[in-house]
Chains A and B, each alone.
Chain A
Amino acid sequence: EIVLTQSPGTLSLSPGERATLSCRASQSVYSNYLAWYQQKPGQAPTLLIYGASSRTTGISDRFSGSGSGTDFTLTISRLEPEDFAVYYCQHYGASPPHSFGQGTRLEIK
């Protein structure tokens, strides 16, 4: 079973700054089947990135994903007020359970 570890646990930044979130897997993620989700308070998660680097339709190009193997990154280039939320990575594809990372809380500094 793959364990995903996200860092940092909390990231405090100001609007306009760049955010870099990390997700590290305990073993190589098959075919880079790694997704990123955003969750705002009281809402269900929404899909941002799949296949480690492909943006879902309608997601701003300020969001980008990168990485391969065991190390993945979500970058938000210029933070907008609506970007402050919790972000989760998840592996998918082969071999359930498709576990999530523990999340990174992005808060306004």
Chain B
Amino acid sequence: EVQVVESGGGLVQPGGSLRLSCAASGFNFNSYSMTWVRQAPGKGLEWVARIKEDGSDKNYVDSVKGRFTISRDNTQNSVFLQMNSLRVDDTAVYYCARENWILDYWGQGTLVTVSP
């Protein structure tokens, strides 16, 4: 059974940092790209970042470029999102998803709250 489980969310002050983790199981992890998607409270979905199977290519939405870094460890079947210089408008549930062209398996999300 494919499973994707996020962790690492929490409350952080503006300007602070947080590292999200996503543990995957039930599939050949190093054969899939992985994506982070976020959803601000009461808002729609926003594609945030994607990392290719071997970590060789990374893409970001403009609003997080230079602040967020996506990475992966294929030996631990995990993908990470390092978030620096956090802003109030980064407050959201962050979802990790397997990318099989489309996002076919999603975790349940982890809440990041950026507040003074």
Contact = CB atoms under 8 A, between A and B. Distances in A.
Contact of B50 (A46, A47, A98): A98
Contacts of A103: 44-45
B38 to A, nearest CB: 11
B89 interface: no
Contacts of A93: 101
A100 B50 contact: no
Contacts, number: 58
Contact of B45 (A50, A56, A88, A92): A88
Interface of B: 35, 37, 44-47, 50, 59-62, 95, 99, 101-104, 106-109
B47 A90 contact: yes
B44 A102 contact: yes
Contacts of A98: 35, 47, 50
